[in-house]
């Protein structure tokens, strides 16, 4: 009887630990920047992006330019975005894009 009680207590404690671990996970926050350039050569130019802007009308799954890119929550200015984009290729920017559009 005592062993059953200990096993049940251990199961309850394990469940509480599992639930509390997921309840306190930090939500990963991001910023979304809309791309408004008109060529693939501009995808690494932060001045061609608008924070929380609406994507272009011709966004879809195909194309060589991003519609929007998703970055860390602490990138809130164009200067910070430019630092993030520096050294990246167009393909690397497309890898973090939400949708694409043709040039």
Instruction: Tell me the per-residue pLDDT of 9-56, one tens digit each, with 9 for 90 and over.
Output: 444 455 445 544 445 555 568 999 999 999 999 999 999 999 998 888
In the β-sheet with 97-101, what is the strand arrangement from edge to edge? 49-51, 30-35, 65-72, 97-101
Whether 1 shows a pLDDT value over 90: the answer reads no
Answer yes or no: is pLDDT of 5 > 70.
Answer: no
For residue 21 the two structure tokens come to: 């671990």
Of residues 17, 33, 29, the one with CA closest to residue 68: 33
Q: Hey, what's the torsion of the CAs at 79, 76, 86, 72, to 10 degrees? A: 160
């Amino acid at each position: 009887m005592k062993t059953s009680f200990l096993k049940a207590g251990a199961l309850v404690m394990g469940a509480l630990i599992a639930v509390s671990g997921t309840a306190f996970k930090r939500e990963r926050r991001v910023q979304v920047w809309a791309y408004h350039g008109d060529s693939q050569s501009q995808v690494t130019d932060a001045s061609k992006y608008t924070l929380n802007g609406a994507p272009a009308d011709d966004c879809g799954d195909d194309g060589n330019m991003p519609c929007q890119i998703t970055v860390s929550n602490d990138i809130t200015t164009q200067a910070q975005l430019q630092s993030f984009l520096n050294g990246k290729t167009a393909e690397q920017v497309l890898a973090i894009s939400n949708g694409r559009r043709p040039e």
